[in-house]
Structure 1
């Protein structure tokens, strides 16, 4: 009997073990309504921690330890789908093709768990949105700048600006990137002092981004962000993407080279996961003298509890880089001088040259801005979820430029230090600085400097007289140095969001957004270029004797961001402190075909300035109290799905946007702007969407009013007021208003299983509304310029410049052979106006904004995916990109507004106009300072996915 019991227990034990540990595989393919594969869709076995992601072709394989169950498929912008399965021990069950509803937001390689990340959902979130998935970023970006991947999105205008690595910029609906909210995994990254986004600091985003959503207009963010033009929402890789990795190498023109490797563990049985990516890139740059080198690192660590109640993600990413720049926008005539009249040398760089036989550029950017975030998502119960992100960013770096002058001549003077080929003769500057006799263009006879106190003394002194300077300093002794303006910061923040499902139709979000920022701004000496010392006399406590400095600091990237360098500072030294406290809430309604929301956010920003150079010890302005400014927004919208194919939406919103730091404390002084006021933005939008198996389309209409815009302008021209010296003033505009209205279309069509067509068209009317006034102040003490207060400028109807108001694109991709694709895209830009200075509109009969020539560019490429490995589950990928295939020459932006019928001389009209003197290029006066776009570029990439 005892043996019988043992046998029964043993048999029962083996049955249990064989049941628990039975192994079976479930496979399938995830597609959208058009039949297209969805790479990166999440596939999980319900009730367990077992999960995987689909591969590039939408296929998945998942192991099940039970004979039956349900898999849950999820994908951003698509409805979740649950599918039952049964599998025999040791066998494989193929579920075939699983189709998810909706197809406009084909996001990849990411599952958003956090309610902090505001992802617009197709046919539900009532905002205008375009989505770019990881596969497209990896394939088509190549050697382009990160913002350029957005150029085929409606109302987006992206240019390379000066052409240095990471110096690109982007406009949305006519608003520059200072007024576009850039978010990374729900974290705001716009500079807290001025709203700037320097893409060189984020050059690695193209490597780690899983998806980019461009939410035009008000956007879906619940935070009180400065999204006047829109929101660029970047969602990075996660630690728990499926196990595997990749290795890639690429090269292109201008000796561009990049290498990259990544690996992810996938979610382990204990809930832990990790993902790592490293890359390195370098090159000579397309523009003369713009060599660069950049690295990128990304580390993500994750943990998910077995009951899926807690999900924690720790992410650290950074992109330390240095790059030489082209900061000087030369005139068209200068580009022609070093090329030909018909074929200007568009690669010409007025900042680069040679020193000691080697290429040397005094303009250089070097920066390292890692960002770390800890995301915790807590599913409290079936109806309540808490999402928290704690983040920190430490920026360390600067932009190097030239300080000082030689007898009133700057380093980039068109005559003084220019070689016959147009490059700067830094050897001549070095020779003069070190006391050698040289000939300087524009000056008569040989030139030799004299010593002060036994040394050749450099300074920021340029020309003329200045009582702050050493009495011996004059135009015979000044020199040119390379200095760097440090712009470092420590930034800490937290966003907490509680998501509560009140009923089957209502969901409430409310949360807190807190940030603290400390920015360090000062200048250091990098290179005396042959000089013996640097004389600085900007510290109020040390005047009139000043300081004599000999220490120089290299222009190298600081990898250790926690090392606060003890630099000898020159010229200025100030610290900007910004504190931000915000509360936000959103109520969302969703039932059947109708979804609607209303949002509200309020924030208080405090600004504090510290300055121990301008102000003496004991001066209360040396450290100001916080100047607190309240702002916020309210917005709402609704989407209605007429049927499975048609939907419509509307939204509206109002922003009271706090001014930037330099608006609160203008001209780097610690007195609060007496004209301080919030900017007011009122926006309306309506949209229509169409979905079918073969064609999708989105149409949007929008109107945005931007009132009380703060804008600081250039100095008044010399003698505007009798006796006024040049570059001793600045201007400020009051009551400047803009209206941005427009139409947008975006569509795609699967003509056949192998041919896909995409297109977009946008037309904007972006103009200033009404007139404004301008005030002028002396830079020395912020005192008003007599006779130049509340001077009227005539802006009504003037076109907003710096971005194309009409854009269009048409693209096609065709699968010639299995997994062998050819693609091409045509991008067209028109109604492009030059950047303007409102001071040019003091007359009611002004000519408005200068319109630049329209241009269209063709990009093309081919790709091939070769399946390898025993199970054909690995691949080798080949990709060739050619941008601007036909090598089109075009003006991408102009910093001046000089018209063809303007006189070539303001003092001698008898000399005629630019047109009468045959000084036009494609109808544009050759005195305009412009940046041309890049000509033909190419790159090739080889990637192994495993």
Structure 2
């Protein structure tokens, strides 16, 4: 018995000793392939031991066994199991462990609404690039929101005239009227003309959790016009984790931005809230383009149970900014700079008035959006997603009207030696003071308004403006505002039903209603006493207007849209949209496939009591209903854990815009209405590994029956136009993008895209008079477009970038972006000769951007930190032409000088030179 006890004690002693000496340590770093994943759970399978990664994604865990498995998990990513083997008392470093996103790579940052059609990695068969909030916060700086996408394949972004929010984006050769922009699943393209004005969304970057660019067909189930692609912007959710941030940034041209935000996190009672406020101002890089804008975002959430999730958001960004919207030829830039160094900041629209900056071109707008999103999990196989939204746009843009003795405000007669508009001289003329016009002293005389029944004649200095040839005799300068306000309401209801383990069915409806208010009012009489409206108001001819209205945005988002006294024109555009969609998705093992169809009916109505006398039936037209829709299908196959391939194809029947239904600002229907037809094909290959990811895409898109109208008319058809039919574009290209993690600290990224975008075949015209009626007589015009290059975007783009963590949380990064095969924007109507030279190719250019980041943790446990960021854009101060409106070849005008091989008579916008910004952000 004693011997047995001794043996038992000896065995226990050996077990204890063995346990003590078998203790080891396992270390490593967890990332998503690009960035560290702090807070990742790390546990030993079958044991209670566990830990989480620190803020650099690093972990260290003790083990009492020599071998086993680690289970690594993080929300939004597939769990990863890693085997380990460690010697007694030793340490095993597993290196960098990359987690692969699960079926929703954006899960950790997005609103989980089923209305949002985001693409899923290695599952959704579309070409896609995703940019998360951290990169937007770091690298955007003073750039425009679309510019964060400029290193995405087949994307071309310019600042146009350079005003705050005036940038534009082009994907695969299609402008943003043919790119669907979605915010939390809600379409934001204007319902009359599909435009997107980024100044209305200037604060969007502050509240974005992720932005996903789906090139080509995209994954949206709605019948939207994503010809070139879809931009999905996903904003912060109210139930993000508790915390907030304060930030401030400043940069060149007196740029200043301050911002504050706070999230309550999900409270025990199911409520949550998120608030963000910011303010931005600056002088603008381009001369005379100062600006000021605010942004607010309020989100409220309620999750009473696991079945219901309700999110309410209200956001807006009231802003005003002076613009450079008058195109300038290269010779003028040289005139106010030098032949070798043109003054690329020159702006012909601005000057000073009473010692202060003044510009005839000014944009002001406030477009708040409210939405209520309800997700209802009916059962384990059925989910209903509903969103109702409203938007109330108020504002417009100003411009100059009138003149003096045939000279408008842009003429040399009212310009200083330095090229500025002499607004003090304009006021002097308007108020009857003697001024020198083209070297001759002139004095304006008072006038008396025409006698109109019920209207008191006005005697004094009266400004007036008449269109057409009469403009040379008009007198007096005014700044008028072209108002484009709207009321927009809509809703989307989508039901997701899991039919089996392999099949999922989605179907739903999309309804919208839109009312646009279009008119002109007086912003400033510039010293005169009244304005005589001699143009379009047939019900009130020779109307005298004295009221002047502010060119600042209305803070009240629900203010009346059309109470102002109106001049020149006034019409209402009513648009109704009814859509239905369905999608069937098959998913089993490595294969995912889908087929999707959508149909929409758009109805257009025009109301105009300025052009048409009451009770003319054309004062209010009937709704014109036009049917459209799309069908698309695709499949993705995961060859193995690293490789996948996909294909997709689709057909769109796209309704024309409002101005094609009712052309020439008249209420007579276009007699040549035709839906545009788009056919797209795409194929892709993807590779994923711990060190390297890459995507290759091939695409071909044909755009038929593109609408084109030319206002060119002969002396026998003043006010008429040509309506061209049969215009076809073909866009083919290849895209490549890759990311490499050379070491834990050193990362590389790059992309390359090359395309062939050109017109196919010729086009013939139909001729209409001023009232939109077919015009008898005249010569039919042919457009010789076959094989002409599509302009306005670079057909070859490339970039390469790198980031290096020099010290812990101290990072340097740089990126070089190159653009080639950039052609001038052409008007197809300008190709009436068979011997045309095609599209003018602009000089290629490359830009380098660089940045510095530094993070300091104030409280590592809570995650409180200071973040410092310095951005320098166009480090090398490259001078380059970003776009050209004209298509003039040097050989067309051999007597004209050239700049970089381009005739100096071309109207162009140069891109920005070197700019910088510095920001400090405190997260708590």
Q: TM-score normalised to the size of structure 1? A: 0.87
Can you list the C-alpha shifts for 1:848-880, whole angstroms capped at 9, x where unaligned?
A: 011000000000010000111273621000000
Q: What is aligned with 1:74?
A: 75
Q: Structure 2, unaligned stretches of length 5 or more?
A: 1-26, 43-51, 60-70, 83-93, 450-458
SS at structure 2 position matched to 1:662: helix
Aligned in 2, Cα 1:305/1:30: closer, same or farther, shift over 3 Å? farther
The answer on 1:560 being equivalent to 2:538 is no
Q: Take 1:646 and 1:72, find their aligned partners in 2: how far apart are those partners?
A: 23
Cross-structure match for 2:374: 376
CA distance in 1, matches of 2:523, 2:28: 58
Counterpart position of 2:808: 818
Q: Which of 736, 756, 761 in structure 2 is aligned with 1:745?
A: 736
**Residues in 2 aligned to 1:103 and 1:777: alpha-carbon distance in whole angstroms:** 57
Q: Say whether the 8 Å CA contact 1:518–1:577 is kept in structure 2.
A: yes
* Pairing 1:337–2:335 present: yes
Give the distance between the partners of 1:823 and 1:372, measured in 2 at CA.
Answer: 38
CA-to-aligned-CA distance 1:112-145 (integer Å, 9 cap, x gap) = 4222100100100000000111100000000000
Q: Distance in 2 between matches of 1:799 and 1:901?
A: 19
> Which string of whole-angstrom CA distances, capped at 9 and with x for unpartnered residues, describes residues 701-744 of structure 1?
0000000001233434xxxx35777xx44443211110000000
What residue number does 1:879 align with?
Answer: 869
Q: 1:515 and 1:388, CA in 2 relative to 1: closer, same or farther beyond 3 A?
A: same
Instruction: Determine the C-alpha separation between the residues in 2 that align with 1:228 and 1:888.
Output: 32
Q: Note the C-alpha offset of 1:439.
A: 1.6
Residues 873 and 445 of structure 1, relative CA distance in 2, 3 Å threshold: closer
Offset of residue 538 of structure 1: 4.0
Residue of structure 2 equivalent to 1:363: 361
The 5 Å alignment of 1:203-218 reads 203-218=202-217
Superposed CA deviations along residues 810-862 of structure 1, whole A, max 9, x for unmatched, are 00000000000000000000000001112221111100011000000000010
Aligned match of 2:506:
509
User: Structure 2 residue aligned with 1:551, among 547, 550, 555?
Assistant: 547
Q: In the TM superposition, what are the counterparts of 1:39-438 in structure 2 within 5 Å?
A: 57=56, 73-75=74-76, 78-79=77-78, 100-102=99-101, 107=106, 110-306=109-305, 308-413=306-411, 415-438=412-435
SS in 2 for 1:416: helix
Shift of 1:99: 5.7
Q: Secondary structure at the match of 1:832?
A: strand
Change in Cα spacing, 1:614 to 1:819, as seen in structure 2 (3 Å) is: same
1:763 paired with 2:759, answer no
The C-alpha deviation readout for 1:268-287, integer Å capped at 9, x for no partner, is 11111111110000000000
Match of 1:707 in 2: 704
Alpha-carbon distance in 2 for matches of 1:499, 1:54:
36
TM-score computed with the length of structure 2 as normaliser: 0.89
Count, aligned residues: 857
The alpha carbon displacement at 1:416 in A equals 2.1
**What is the distance in 2 between the residues matched to 1:71 and 1:809?**
34
1:112/1:589 CA distance change after superposition, 3 Å? farther
Retained in 2: the 8 A contact 1:365–1:400?
yes
Matched, 1:942 2:912: no
Query: Equivalent residue for 1:440?
Result: 437
CA distance in structure 2 between the partners assigned to 1:378 and 1:432 by the alignment: 66
CA pair 582-573 structure 1, distance change in 2 beyond 3 A: same
Closer, same or farther in 2 for the Cα pair 1:724/1:404, shift >3 Å?
A: farther
Structure 2 distance, partners of 1:608, 1:572, is 17
Supply the distance in 2 between the matched residues of 1:475 and 1:33 (Cα, whole angstroms).
66
Structure-2 residue corresponding to 1:893: 883
The structure 1 segments of at least 4 consecutive aligned residues displaced by more than 6 Å after TM superposition are 39-43, 53-56, 80-83, 95-98, 103-106
Residue in structure 2 matched with residue 684 of structure 1 by the alignment: 681
What is the distance in 1 between the residues matched to 2:144 and 2:502? 43
Q: CA deviation at 1:358?
A: 1.4
Aligned-pair CA distance for 1:530: 1.7
5 Å matches for 1:639-650? 639-650=636-647
Residues 390-433 of structure 1: per-residue CA shift (max 9 Å, x gap): 111110011011112222222112x2211100010111111111
Q: Distance in 1 between matches of 2:478 and 2:155?
A: 39
The reply to whether residue 791 of structure 1 matches residue 781 of structure 2 is: yes
Query: Which SS does the other structure have where 1:667 is aligned?
Result: helix
**Residue pair 1:155, 1:173 contacting (<8 A) in 2 also:** yes
Contact 2:31 2:96 in 1 (8 A): no
Distance between the aligned counterparts of 2:461 and 2:102, measured in 1?
Answer: 69
Secondary structure of 1:436's aligned partner: coil
Per the TM alignment, residue 445 of structure 1 is displaced from its structure 2 partner at its CA by 5.3
Alpha-carbon distance change, 364 to 36 in structure 1, aligned in 2, over 3 angstroms: closer
Deviation at 1:447, TM superposition (A): 4.9
> Do the aligned partners of residues 848 and 243 (structure 1) sit closer, same or farther apart at CA in structure 2, a change above 3 Å counting?
same
Matches within 5 A, 1:458-473: 458-461=463-466, 464-465=469-470
* Equivalent position SS for 1:148: helix
Superposed CA deviations along residues 300-352 of structure 1, whole A, max 9, x for unmatched, are 1001123x110000011111000000001100000000000000000000000
1:40/1:109 contact within 8 Å kept? no
Secondary structure of 1:734's counterpart equals strand
| Distance of 1:106 and 1:40 partners within structure 2 | 17
* 2:496 counterpart SS class: strand
